[in-house]
């Protein structure tokens, strides 16, 4: 070993020399070992033992830890530090330390077996100590067999180990260092012992040290029934070792190992004097057998009792004391006799080196004291229970103080009143997020899209918080409270800030004003006015707002300012703070802390959202960056050299309103009240250098003119006359419906293009993103106009009504808006009648003759309600007759019921399909199948039926008297099914896969690879096949429990079985789905109903039950496609997304406001009437074309015509405010501005 004076670290020289031992010697002063597992205290104890024994090299060569990477562990060698390598791989450790022949295995009982077998593969290992308790006996015996074949000694399991004084110590054997010194284990003695108990081995160390010259070697073999090594293994080693003079055996009740020792003594194989004792003599005092601490300490017979063993050993000539207390005396007598006879020469004693006391141990004993490096007064985790400002964590939950209460404890070290805690929670909720466009959220999103982890993304967003973003709270609190304390009037405060050219923090909003107040501010003001004992500073701030809004109506008290002044009112008046404490907490930055804590919720949400959407690396587009390098170079030396003047924008004046880009919404942290009013929007067009031409032609910016086949400006005559119709259609697809209608009036060329089906199809795909869907009209133009109009309508108003159906928990219901009738059925078969306006009739009937809560199957539609009990009783209730029509008793258990227009189909467990006439109950037909009937599907007009039995699918294309089913071409193991009768497709669902098969042949297509686990699936309500828009598709929705919904084209070809859209609903767990061509309903067990557009995935509405009861049933009115209902526990909710401005609740007057006609159908009819009158409109358009584009005008070129058409659409576009225009505005700069800019440049050139 060579100490290094630079780092004070003790290093040991690694040697490849393997120490050699005689067979009876397991350990020597050269023994080197590995410790398997991270046990720093045990390793340090072994090194301290090595040091006081005077070893030159540490006995621990390294540590093996398979669950971590390779590193070093810092330990002490005396007063200096030493580094021990930590290996992940056993083989690598063995390769680097060939001198190691012992392993101390600290692996747990679960992994001790596998780790020991791995160690046994290396021939250099001679001894393994297994410390773990609870290793299965079978595993122990397997280890023993393999170790015996390889000649390896096993100590343990369930053993503390062993010790050879002056040489080697296994793990924690011998206890702490003071006990080792007192027992003189730092140098060898003459007595070798073996015991089962590790705890008693420490007692033996002490007894032997006091009565002899000390311990030569001691082993604790462990208390398991099958130890790795036995008493005789070690006693024979001691017998063969000339340095060991006296043997000590400490056995116990149970087992027969002591009798094997007796046999060796009788046979003369053990001749050295032996003192022995079997512990457990007290067992005779109990009336029943007693299991002592060890697994093997149980006497199965009288022979295994401690008393019998002691008597037998005494008869064999072994020194056995009368009691354990006499064992030291007997040992001393034997030792003194051998010394007097000269057969034992006492070993010389020596003074061991001093081992410094560990700091932690000295501190625990109270021998030293040390000043603390940190002081904490808010929490304490040292005791039995975590404390928050002295409040046990159990009381935090018991008193339900909420997150606001926890903040009061950890931030302010005191309990605040309940209203104050609620206010803190309100602040967190109001500041949680403000959209993805703010700087912090944008930083978080960009960092996430760069592949960074949550912490990195969160920190990147938090680093933007300061005086410009989110930091107005502290400044607002300081400014308002300082002005109020000085006694300044609101007018004087505003004037003084203006004179100092200082912005008033907390005043001003970009889009909110007196006429359009911020609801967040209103919520805070209402709560504070109602609960706070005093609101003086808030009143002062509102008075300041009156002064500032007299200048400009958007200089209102914003949410930052409102939170700031209300927090000051809270600190000053809640009674929990002194005035000095209130000011101190404000100076600490508590308000900004609230913003940071609240906004972290939103930042984490944006991080998770981007990961969920699997967005890629973000790169900002060049066209949104103004490169001013040349301008800076040219302006060098000028008077304004530090200013960069923005380049003039190319403006398409006549089309500015079409491409109006909305400003970003959000509140200003501070506003200059002297600043002039800013325009709400900008009508400028920026030239997009990555234009559609580049994407369409694949050519670079330099070759765009050539791609457009445009001549230089000086020679070009027109811009648009050379563009292809495809490019016109592409450009027109970004226009809203009014503009697309009016642009047809511009020129013959535009008329032909704008009125074509291709143009409307392109516009439809641009708006809804799909070209495969269930259509609701016959042309692309009608489809576009109808869907876009409905989309605008259903985003406004309430349009729902919830009421108690008064039947208990609702099992199923039927709703018909045309007849204004709702029928609800409970789990017990109780039926109630109500209107869609919520009026429940007193009349109730029971579906069953003897109402009992045992309905196993319940089916309902507009025609009938059918229920079946577990004993096979069937009851049919016709909705038009308000009463039970007929009942039947089936011979076996009913598994499935389906109701057609005229026939009821009933399937049983034994495969019998029975057909009954719906109105009379007369049996029409029966068919016997060979297996249990699982599902029955009937086509809409009752022309065909599908019966799904266990593992087989049967299909009858005609329902007649014979009812003949085709032989099943398919076998299955699915659990859920759907059938599309027009295409004869059946969908089988099993776990995460969905397979589509044709009912008449064996062709199949698999919809799989996208889903984790399908919990529910639905086909849309439109089962027809049309040659119009949508390519004859039919929508199919599948849902996962986590809230993800996939929408498919159920009729796609086998090569196109991919989802057309994936919708993250945010609603989970999903339990029910309903789907129409217009809306997707998603019901969950948490009491939420989400409404989405199945084509675009846009969220329309979320409806929740009052008590968050689970959604038990959903229904969509097939006549309107946008109306329906949902059942939540006892509550029925009716909704209407076609006339959302109308309230479904009845008026107070006697006249009922019941919706008596199909509103959405009326909307569609109105649109169809308008489209049918298009012939006359077309004649008017032709007349206008002749007037504007004929002889009266010498003809407009296409550029002028386009500008004219866009001007014509201006007023109507603003009035419509269509969704299409909103989406188009986001893209029009990229697609249209380049063409318009070229036209503008051409016009300017010609004028010059």
Answer whether residue 847 shows pLDDT above 60: yes
Low-confidence winner among 296-305, 961-970, 1091-1100 (lowest mean pLDDT): 296-305
Q: How many CB atoms lie within 10 A of CB 801?
A: 19
Q: What is the pLDDT of residue 1104?
A: 76
What are the E-state strand segments in 817-974? 821-826, 830-834, 840-846, 855-860, 864-869, 873-878, 883-889, 894-899, 903-908, 912-917, 923-928, 933-938, 945-949, 952-956
Angstrom distance (rounded) from CA 174 to CA 657: 90
Q: Two tokens at 167?
A: 């040489």
Q: What is the pLDDT of residue 645?
A: 41
Q: Two tokens at 115?
A: 């780790």
Average the pLDDT over 637-666 and give the result.
37
Query: What are 587-640's pLDDT values in tens digits?
Result: 888 888 999 999 999 999 999 999 999 999 999 888 788 887 755 444 444 444
What are the strands of the beta sheet with 821-826, ordered from one edge?
A: 810-816, 821-826, 830-834, 840-846
Q: How confident is the model at residue 1160 (pLDDT cuts 50, 70, 90)?
A: very low
Give the residue among 945, 948, 892 at the shortest CA–CA distance from 915.
945
Phi and psi for 497 in degrees, rounded to 5? -65, -35
pLDDT above 90 covers a percentage of the chain that reads 35
Q: Exposed, middle or buried, 91 (CB in 10 Å: 0-12/13-18/19+)?
A: exposed
Report CA 623 to chain centroid distance, whole Å: 37
Low-confidence winner among 207-211, 396-400, 468-472, 1203-1207 (lowest mean pLDDT): 1203-1207
Cβ atoms of residues 245 and 255 within 8 Å = no
Pick the CATH number of 1-157 from 3.20.20.70, 1.20.1740.10, 2.130.10.10, 3.40.50.720: 3.40.50.720
Q: What is the pLDDT of residue 647?
A: 40
Q: How confident is the model at residue 445 (pLDDT cuts 50, 70, 90)?
A: very high
Query: What are 379-398's pLDDT values in tens digits?
Result: 999 888 999 999 999 999 99
3-state secondary structure string across 659-680: CCEECCCCCCCEECCCCCCCCC
Angstrom distance (rounded) from CA 267 to CA 722: 118
Answer whether residue 1151 shows pLDDT above 90: no
Strand pairing partners for 926?
914
Cβ atoms of residues 1039 and 1092 within 8 Å = no
Give the residue among 154, 322, 166 at the shortest CA–CA distance from 224.
154
Average the pLDDT over 827-851 and give the result.
72
Catalytic residues: 294
Answer whether residue 293 shows pLDDT above 60: no
Average the pLDDT over 399-410 and give the result.
94
Q: What is the pLDDT of residue 886?
A: 82
Give the residue among 504, 705, 834 at the shortest CA–CA distance from 1237.
705
Angstrom distance (rounded) from CA 937 to CA 749: 52
Answer whether residue 99 shows pLDDT above 70: yes
| Mean pLDDT taken over the chain | 78
Determine the longest span between alpha carbons in the chain, in angstroms: 147
Helix, strand or coil, per DSSP, at residue 1159:
helix
Report CA 763 to chain centroid distance, whole Å: 37
Q: Exposed, middle or buried, 233 (CB in 10 Å: 0-12/13-18/19+)?
A: middle
Instruction: Select the more confidently predicted residue: 339 or 719.
Output: 339
Q: Two tokens at 860?
A: 């309902």
Instruction: Select the more confidently predicted residue: 870 or 220.
Output: 220
Domain map of the chain by residue range? Answer: 1-157, 177-356, 427-613, 692-795+1166-1247
* Dihedral sign for Cα atoms in the order 1090, 1093, 1096, 1100: negative
Give CA separation, 971 vs 910, 934, 1017, 1044, in Å.
18, 13, 20, 29
Q: What is the pLDDT of residue 1032?
A: 80
Q: What is the pLDDT of residue 1076?
A: 87
DSSP string, 348-408: PP-PPPPPPPPHHHHHHTTS-----S----SEE-SSSS-EETTEEHHHHHHTT-HHHHHHH
Phi and psi for 1046 in degrees, rounded to 5? -105, 135
Cβ atoms of residues 295 and 221 within 8 Å = no
DSSP string, 421-485: HHHHHHHHHHTS---TTSHHHHHHHHHHHTT--HHHHHHHHHTT-BTTTBTHHHHHHHHHHHHHH
Strand pairing partners for 833?
823
Angstrom distance (rounded) from CA 902 to CA 923: 12
Q: How confident is the model at residue 844 (pLDDT cuts 50, 70, 90)?
A: low
- Residues contacting residue 186 through CB under 8 Å, at least 6 positions apart: 49, 52, 53, 54, 165, 166, 180, 350, 352
Average the pLDDT over 896-909 and give the result.
87
Residue 248 host element (H or E): strand 246-252
What are the E-state strand segments in 836-902? 840-846, 855-860, 864-869, 873-878, 883-889, 894-899
Q: What is the pLDDT of residue 53?
A: 93
Cβ atoms of residues 462 and 598 within 8 Å = no
Give the residue among 898, 1122, 1111 at the shortest CA–CA distance from 1015.
1111
> Hey, do 1-157 and 177-356 end up sharing a CATH topology, with the first three levels equal?
yes
Q: How many CB atoms lie within 10 A of CB 361?
A: 12
Q: What is the pLDDT of residue 192?
A: 96
Alpha helices in 57-176 (DSSP H): 90-96, 112-119, 137-150
Helix, strand or coil, per DSSP, at residue 98:
coil
Angstrom distance (rounded) from CA 966 to CA 1000: 8
Angstrom distance (rounded) from CA 1145 to CA 1152: 9
Average the pLDDT over 28-43 and give the result.
94
Query: What are 702-736's pLDDT values in tens digits?
Result: 444 344 333 333 333 344 555 667 777 777 777 77
pLDDT above 70 covers a percentage of the chain that reads 75
Terminal Cα-to-Cα distance of the chain (whole angstroms)? 94
Query: What are 980-1038's pLDDT values in tens digits?
Result: 888 888 888 887 788 888 887 777 766 655 567 888 999 888 777 667 787 788 888 99
The per-type count for the chain, helices as H runs and strands as E runs, is 36, 52
Residue 494 host element (H or E): helix 490-499
- Residues contacting residue 311 through CB under 8 Å, at least 6 positions apart: none
Average the pLDDT over 1080-1107 and give the result.
83
Q: What is the pLDDT of residue 1108?
A: 67
Average the pLDDT over 1053-1059 and give the result.
77
Cβ atoms of residues 234 and 249 within 8 Å = no
Angstrom distance (rounded) from CA 268 to CA 969: 86
Angstrom distance (rounded) from CA 720 to CA 1196: 12
CATH number for the region 177-356 comes to 3.40.50.261
3-state helix, strand, coil in the chain (%, to 5): 35, 20, 45
- Residues contacting residue 1101 through CB under 8 Å, at least 6 positions apart: 794, 1090, 1091, 1135, 1137
Q: What is the pLDDT of residue 633?
A: 47
Q: Two tokens at 232?
A: 């005789």
Instruction: Select the more confidently predicted residue: 365 or 270.
Output: 270
Q: What is the pLDDT of residue 630?
A: 54
């Amino acid at each position: 070993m060579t100490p290094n004076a630079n780092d004070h670290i003790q290093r040991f020289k690694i040697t490849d020399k393997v120490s050699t031992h005689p067979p009876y010697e397991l350990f020597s002063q050269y023994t080197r070992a590995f410790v398997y597992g991270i046990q720093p205290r045990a390793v340090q104890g072994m090194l301290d033992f090595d040091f006081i024994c005077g070893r030159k090299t540490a006995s621990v060569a390294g540590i093996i830890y398979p669950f971590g990477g390779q590193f070093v562990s810092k330990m002490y060698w005396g007063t200096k530090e030493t580094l021990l390598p930590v290996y992940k791989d056993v083989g690598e450790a063995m390769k680097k330390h060939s001198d190691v022949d012992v392993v101390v295995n600290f692996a747990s009982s679960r992994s001790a077996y596998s780790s020991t077998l791995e160690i046994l593969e290396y021939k250099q290992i001679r001894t393994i100590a297994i410390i773990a308790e609870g290793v299965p006996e079978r595993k122990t015996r397997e280890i023993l067999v393999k170790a015996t074949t390889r000649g390896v000694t096993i100590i343990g399991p369930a053993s503390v180990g062993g010790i050879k004084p002056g040489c080697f110590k296994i793990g924690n054997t011998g206890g702490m260092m003071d006990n080792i010194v007192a027992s003189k284990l730092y140098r060898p003695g003459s007595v070798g012992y073996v015991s089962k108990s590790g705890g008693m081995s420490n007692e033996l160390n002490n007894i032997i040290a006091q009565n002899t010259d000390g311990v030569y070697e001691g082993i604790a073999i462990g208390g398991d029934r099958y130890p790795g090594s036995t008493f005789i293994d070690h006693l024979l080693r001691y017998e063969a070792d000339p340095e060991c003079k006296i043997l000590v055996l400490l056995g116990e009740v149970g087992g027969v190992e002591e009798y094997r020792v007796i046999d060796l003594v009788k046979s003369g194989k053990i001749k050295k004097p032996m003192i022995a004792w079997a512990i457990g003599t007290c067992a005779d005092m109990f009336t029943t057998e007693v299991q002592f601490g060890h697994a093997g300490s149980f006497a199965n017979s009288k022979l295994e009792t401690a008393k019998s063993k002691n008597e037998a050993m005494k008869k064999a000539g072994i020194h056995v004391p009368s009691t354990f207390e006499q064992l030291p005396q007997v040992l001393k007598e034997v030792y003194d006799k051998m010394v007097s006879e000269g057969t034992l020469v006492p070993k010389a004693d020596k003074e061991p080196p001093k081992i410094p006391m560990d700091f932690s141990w000295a501190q625990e004993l109270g021998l030293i004291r040390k000043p603390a490096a940190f002081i904490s007064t808010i929490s304490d985790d040292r005791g039995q229970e975590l404390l928050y400002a002295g409040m046990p964590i159990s009381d935090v939950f018991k008193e339900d103080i909420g997150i606001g209460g926890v903040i009061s404890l950890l931030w302010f070290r005191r309990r605040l009143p309940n209203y104050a805690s609620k206010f803190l929670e309100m602040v967190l909720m109001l500041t949680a997020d403000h959209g993805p466009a703010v700087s912090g959220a944008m930083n978080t999103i960009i960092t996430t899209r760069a592949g960074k982890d949550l912490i990195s993304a969160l920190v990147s967003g938090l680093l933007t918080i300061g005086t410009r973003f989110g930091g107005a709270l502290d400044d607002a609190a300081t400014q308002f409270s300082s002005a109020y304390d000085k006694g300044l009037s609101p007018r004087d405060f505003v004037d003084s800030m203006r004179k100092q050219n200082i912005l008033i923090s907390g005043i001003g909003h970009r889009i909110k004003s007196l006429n359009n107040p911020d609801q967040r501010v209103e919520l805070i003001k209402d709560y504070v006015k109602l609960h706070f004992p005093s609101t003086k500073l808030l009143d002062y701030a509102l008075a300041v707002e009156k002064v500032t809004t007299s200048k400009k109506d958007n200089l209102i008290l914003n949410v930052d300012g409102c939170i700031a002044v209300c927090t000051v009112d809270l600190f000053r008046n809640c009674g929990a703070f002194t005035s000095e404490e209130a000011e101190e907490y404000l100076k600490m930055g508590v308000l900004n802390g609230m913003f940071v804590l609240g906004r972290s919720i939103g930042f984490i949400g944006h991080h998770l959202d981007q990961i969920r959407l699997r967005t890629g690396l973000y790169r900002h587009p060049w066209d949104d960056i103004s490169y001013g390098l040349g301008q800076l170079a040219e302006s060098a030396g000028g008077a304004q050299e530090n200013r960069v003047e923005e380049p003039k924008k190319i403006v398409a004046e006549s089309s500015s309103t079409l491409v109006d880009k909305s400003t970003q919404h959000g509140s200003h942290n501070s506003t200059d009240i002297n600043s002039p009013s800013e325009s709400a929007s900008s009508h400028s067009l920026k030239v997009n250098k990555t234009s559609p031409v580049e994407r369409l032609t694949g050519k670079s910016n330099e070759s765009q003119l050539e791609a457009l086949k445009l001549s230089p400006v000086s020679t070009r005559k027109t811009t648009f006359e050379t563009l292809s119709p495809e490019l016109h259609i592409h450009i027109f697809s970004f226009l809203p419906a009014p503009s697309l209608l009016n642009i047809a009036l511009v020129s013959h060329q535009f008329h032909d293009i704008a009125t074509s089906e291709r143009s409307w199809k392109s516009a439809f795909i641009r708006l809804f993103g799909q070209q495969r869907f269930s259509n609701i009209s016959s042309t692309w133009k009608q489809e576009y106009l109808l869907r876009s109009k409905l989309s605008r309508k259903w985003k406004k108003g309430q349009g729902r009504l919830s009421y108690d159906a008064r039947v208990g928990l609702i099992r199923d219901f039927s709703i018909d808006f045309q007849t204004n009738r709702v029928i609800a059925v409970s789990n017990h078969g109780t039926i109630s009648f109500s209107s869609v306006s919520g009026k429940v009739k007193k009349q109730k009937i029971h579906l069953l003759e003897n109402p009992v809560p045992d309905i196993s199957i319940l089916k309902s539609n507009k025609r009938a309600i059918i229920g079946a009990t577990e004993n096979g009783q069937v009851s049919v209730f016709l909705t038009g007759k308000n009463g039970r029509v007929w009942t039947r008793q089936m011979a076996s258990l009913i598994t499935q019921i389906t109701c057609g227009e005229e026939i009821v189909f009933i399937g049983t467990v034994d495969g019998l399909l029975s057909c009954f006439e719906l109105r009379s109950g007369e049996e029409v037909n029966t068919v016997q199948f060979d297996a249990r009937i699982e599902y029955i599907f009937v086509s809409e007009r009752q022309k065909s039926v599908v019966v799904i039995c266990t593992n087989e699918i049967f299909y009858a294309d005609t329902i007649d008297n014979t009812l003949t089913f085709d032989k099943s071409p398919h076998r299955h193991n699915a659990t859920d099914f759907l059938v599309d009768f027009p295409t004869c497709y059946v969908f089988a669902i099993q776990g995460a896969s969905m397979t589509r098969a044709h009912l008449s042949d064996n062709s199949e297509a698999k919809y799989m690879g996208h889903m984790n686990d399908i919990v529910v699936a639905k086909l849309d309500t439109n089962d027809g096949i049309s040659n119009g828009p949508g390519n004859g598709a039919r929508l199919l929705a599948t849902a996962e429990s986590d809230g993800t919904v996939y929408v498919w084209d159920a009729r796609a070809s086998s090569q196109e079985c991919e989802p057309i859209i994936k919708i993250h609903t945010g609603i989970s767990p999903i339990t029910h789905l309903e789907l129409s061509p217009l809306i997707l309903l998603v019901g969950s067990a948490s009491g939420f109903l989400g409404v989405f557009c199945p084509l675009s995935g846009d969220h329309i509405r979320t409806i929740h039950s009052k008590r968050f009861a689970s959604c038990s049933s959903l229904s969509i009115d097939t006549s309107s496609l946008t109306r329906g209902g949902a059942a939540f526990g006892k509550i029925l909710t009716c909704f209407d997304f076609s006339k959302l401005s109308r309230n479904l609740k009845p008026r107070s007057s006697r006249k009922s406001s019941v919706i008596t006609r199909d509103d959405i159908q009326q909307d569609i009819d109105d649109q169809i009437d308008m489209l049918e009158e298009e012939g006359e409109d077309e004649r008017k358009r032709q007349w206008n074309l002749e007037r504007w584009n004929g002889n009266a005008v010498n003809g407009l070129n296409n550029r002028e015509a386009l500008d004219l058409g866009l001007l014509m659409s201006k007023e109507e576009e603003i009035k419509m405010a269509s969704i299409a225009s909103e989406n188009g505005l986001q893209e029009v700069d990229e697609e249209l501005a380049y063409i318009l800019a070229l036209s503008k440049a051409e016009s300017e050139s010609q004028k010059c």
